[in-house]
Homo-oligomer: A and B are copies of this chain.
Amino acid sequence: MAKAKFSASHSAVEAILTAAIPLFAQAGFSGVAMRQVAQAVGISIATLYHHFPDKSTLYLKTIEATFADKAEGMAAVLAETGTPEQRLQKFVLRFTEMMSQDSYFRRLLQRELLDGDETRLRLLASQVFKAQFLNIAKLAQELAPGCDPHLMAISIAGLVLFHLEMTPLRQFLPGGCPEHNQPDIIARHVTALLLGGVPCCGNK
């Protein structure tokens, strides 16, 4: 009973969140007006406020939806067989590809690292990172016993994410070219660096 009603409401909320993700990713919380969101969905502001009590809640729900989507995808990245080196290589490649594809998620992540309050940071940690973080840390311990797994896990993810963060700046730096933004190029460089240290191309 009341199925149609609930379903309609549900899809309206989904449509709003879908429209809000690119807007907040592009301009951040204070850079987006509720009018813009309403216009992007094709509804009035009053209808928007019927589904979300205020702008902060809309933003939080947008973040939650984005991160929940990503948490699902992240689960498929690991659980590989092979030597630790092979598993690292595969993880880095898949992680790079996944992060390259979803610039909205990446931008929201960057914005949360700058402006996230404790609630949203806890959400980010527990929903998106925690499970994969433990797997990476475990892999790092196999490859580098005695090394701090927490620092290693952040370094591995950070190498990939920072190269993607630098995409807009790269073209203005010496030696930068569009090829450096390709996922497979970044993944190969990061893998070689992690497995070989600085002489990373001597062992190719």
A68 within 8 A of B: no
B contact residues around A159 at 8 Å (CB): 155, 158-159, 162
Q: Is B166 a contact of A150 with CB atoms below 8 Å?
A: no
Which listed residue, B126, B133, B162, B174, touches A137 by the CB 8 Å rule? Answer: B174
B residues in contact with A122, CB < 8 Å: 172
Among residues of B, the one whose C-beta sits closest to the C-beta of A85 is B198
User: Main secondary structure on chain A at its contact with chain B?
Assistant: helix
Chain A 81-121 near chain B by CB (<8 Å), digits 1 or 0: 00000001000000000000000000100110111100001
Interface size class of A (residues with CB under 8 A): 35 or more
Q: Which residues of B contact A31 (CB under 8 A)?
A: 28-30
- Answer whether residue A46 sits at the interface, using C-beta atoms and an 8 A cutoff: no
Contact of A143 among B30, B88, B161, B199 (CB under 8 A): B199
